[in-house]
Structure 1
Amino acid sequence: MSNSNAIANGVAGAGGGIIAQIITYPLQTVNTRQQTERITKKGRLSSQPKPAAGSTLLQILHVIRTEGWGGLYSGLKPSLFGTAASQGIYYYFYQVFKNKAEAIAAARKDRGYGDGTVGMFSWLIVAAIAGSLNVLLTNPIWVLVTRMQTHTQAERKIMEEKRKALLSEASISSSIGSGLQHKLVELDSIKPHPYGTVDAAREVYNEAGILGFWKGIIPTLIMVCNPSIQFMIYETSLKHLKAKRAANKHGLKSVSALEVFVLGALAKLGATVTTYPLLVVKSRLQAKQEIGGNISLRYSGTIDAIIKMIRHEGLPGFYKGMSTKIVQSVFAASVLFMVKEELVKAYMILTHKSQKVLLKLKN
């Protein structure tokens, strides 16, 4: 029954993750672009115009106007696959290790130790193990998604560097000839070429080989504490609420979908604020590195990224786009938890009914 419970949670987690991902994907795309945009302490590292800098909504409208709706959903297909795989893997292993932790707690109670419940530290370890396995298996997918979400942004920066080089050439010669003018017009007319999953994979492989698909793995592994904190808060709150309901003889005993939604939102909010700087570093490492000729835009690894970000952007650079991420991740996590719990309930009801039918047929 415990294995069936783990499978139910894995499938439900995947289903809930897909629904949450589709609903919040435009916010995720804009947030990734915000994280990978370089701004120095005194000014911009890039002169790329950013008319929508002040508002997430304005940035979304800017993307729609310049790239169409497709710009907001760049990388959606691999992202949906990654979400299904990630949530399925995470929830499956989370439930497997959760069952083991509960069995250990029950055994300890039989021996006279503890009250038979799993403590907060145990929840933390269970979530961390499940999260680490998930990260190692799915990181290549998220590298591709990040590349696809930021491709247009990177292409524009490259075009910007080329334009600056041409203008610099013109300033040296003190005049703009017809040939140079033609090059500028031609450069301005170039639009980012179609960029799919295969293109992203080829680019990553050409840049760094097979190891390129595990870029950002160090901050991502450290970020395992994000779902660990999230689930620790969630499970502890849910346990407290269920205990309170069980003690209430006349009121509702089951936890509603709305209450799960609120608990999921609070849990994700706490986890996101705590670990956001690591998310920014991860996105920077996974995005295209060869942006123009500015070495400050390129990172060879996690430590190099952190040092350059502190030097050129200061501490605010680690919190770029956090408000967007909070809205996106909290809403997505709330939807995920709510849908997951309802799918698990439906699965258990169907399993119970099917068992009854089988018993009747046997009798």
Structure 2
Amino acid sequence: MSNAVVNGLAGAGGGIIAQIITYPLQTVNTRQQTDRVAKKGLLSNSTSDSSQSHPPSHGGGTLIQILKVIRTEGLGGLYSGLKPSLFGTAASQGIYYYFYQLFKNKAETLAFAQKKKGLGDGTVGMFSWLLVAAMAGSLNVLCTNPIWVLVTRMQTHTQAEMKIMEAKRVAFLREAAATAPTSSTDASPLQNNLTQLDLIKPRPYGTAQAVKEVYSEAGIKGFWKGLIPTLVMVCNPSIQFMIYESLLKHLRAKRAATKQGSTVVSALEVFLVGALAKLGATLATYPLLVVKSRLQAKQEIGGGNISLQYTGALDAIIKMIRYEGLPCFYKGMSTKIVQSVLAASVLFMIKEELVKVYLKLADKTPKFITKSQ
């Protein structure tokens, strides 16, 4: 089995475990990113009602939001979209690590060939690491973007339903105010409407429903919503792996100089190096992640207001800056840092350990065969 396949399978396994551990944080973070609250007086909608201009925000810290989800939706609410997410993680990590290792092998072969010609020291430079990661990331995005569109929809379904209910409530109140009831009995239709609205619960929403909804809204191209910012975000794993490989290279070189040529890196060291790498990449690319999530979520989260709904990446960026301000690009960033750093650290650690286990088994197998002969 080639080392590209081994790394692909190990990456898929590590990614699944990391996803299960950190998924509740990911669900809350996606809802934070897609929550939209315009600055006062800046909505372009024809309505001017204050409750419409400033829809309730799902604010509070990460822990508070987790508790809110559990109280209103149960533990299952924290794991909305987990099944397609696990499939997406396995596919994404498998595809990424397979092509990453494949391109990495090519880069190392080229670097060694250059050394033979007297050019360079035989090691892969930072720019080459960036290119390798970018190529692997682009192929991964093109293949797996539909899965993440479905996951985002499922994570934010309840949030969108609540926004729809809020918009209906505002419509009922405005209609009642326009008719100017003169007696308490006149207000009974309004009370009945509001009572019926309160009784409505979010509809069950599975993968099949998400597929039908996305297709009915935009056809096949709907499954590639957010593709442009996602492709630009390829620089996230590029930066991440550049930092990761550079730190590992430095660590191994230092270890070789102090431990009689041994370059073995412990699981804890891989965990810490992975955490640092992911932290740097997340800080640099988070605004693009917010744009991507908003494009992939139901546009009803905007509360029916065109100022908070987007037709594309550029439209989203312009409206977010105009109506919400620059801080909206960093909504939920603290949650994302905790989730992504923890997930990346677990992924790297488990991946490297799985590769080590395979190499040990592969190393023992020929010896066993030789002895038996």
Deviation, 1:357, is 1.8
User: Deviation at 1:9?
Assistant: 0.4
Q: How far off is 1:252 after superposition?
A: 6.7
1:25 aligns with 2:35: no
1:113 is matched with which residue: 113, 119, 124?
119
- Give the corresponding residue for 2:290: 280
Are 1:226 and 2:220 an aligned pair? no
- C-alpha distance in 1 between matches for 2:52 and 2:319: 12
Residue by residue, what CA displacement relative to the aligned partner does 1:141-185 show, whole Å, maximum 9, x if unpaired?
A: 000000000000000000111111111111112235433322211
Q: Which one-letter code corresponds to 2:358 in the other structure?
A: Y
Task: Find out whether 1:101 has 2:111 as its counterpart.
Answer: no
Which residue is equivalent to 1:130? 136
Worse overlay, 137-146 or 240-249: 240-249
Equivalent pair of 2:233/2:285 in contact (CA under 8 Å): yes
Bigger Cα displacement from structure 2, 272-281 vs 110-119:
110-119
- Paired position in structure 2 for 1:340: 351
Write the letter of the residue equivalent to 1:59: Q
1:12 alignment partner in structure 2? 10
Distance 2:259 2:191 in 1: 82
Which residue in the other structure is 2:93 paired with? 87
1:34 and 1:14 map into 2 onto residues whose CA distance is 27
Aligned residue pair count? 359
Normalising by structure 2, report the TM-score.
Answer: 0.93
Identity across the alignment (%): 75
- Is 1:329–2:327 an aligned residue pair? no
Contact residue 52 and residue 167 of structure 2 kept, 8 A = no
* CA RMSD across the alignment: 1.5
Q: Which moved more, 1:347-356 or 1:251-260?
A: 251-260
SS of corresponding position for 2:284: helix
The answer as to whether partners of 1:46 and 1:157 remain within 8 angstroms in 2 is: no
CA shift digits 1:110-157 (9 cap, x unpaired): 111111111111000000000000000000000000000000000000
| Alignment correspondent of 1:201 | 211
- Write out per-residue CA displacement over residues 259-301 of structure 1, whole angstroms, 9 at most, x where no aligned residue: 0000000000000000000000000000001444310121000
2:314 pairs, out of 303, 307, 323, with: 303
Letter in 1 for 2:81: G
1:315 aligns with 2:326: yes
Structure 2 counterpart of 1:155: 161
CA distance in 2, matches of 1:253, 1:120: 20
Distance 1:348 1:45, change over 3 A: farther
CA offsets, 1:173-215, max 9 Å, x none? 2235433322211111100000000101111101110000000
CA-to-partner distance for each residue in 1:11-54, whole Å, 9 max, x for gaps?
Answer: 1100000000000000000000000001223388665544x622
- Partner residue, 2:220: 210
Q: Is the 8 A contact 2:40 2:54 kept in 1?
A: no
Corresponding residue of 2:45: none
Task: Name structure 1 gaps, 5 residues minimum.
Answer: none
Counterparts in 2 of 1:320 and 1:46: CA distance versus 1, 3 Å: farther
Instruction: Check 1:251–1:359 CA distance in 2 against 1; reply closer, same or farther (3 A cut).
Output: closer
Aligned match of 2:69: 63
Letter in 2 for 1:205: Y
Return the TM-score normalized by structure 1: 0.96
Identify the residue that residue 262 of structure 1 maps to in structure 2: 272
**Following the alignment from structure 1 to structure 2, what is the Cα–Cα distance between the partners of residues 355 and 171?**
83
1:66 Cα deviation from its structure 2 partner:
0.5
Which of 149, 165, 168 aligns to 1:143? It is 149
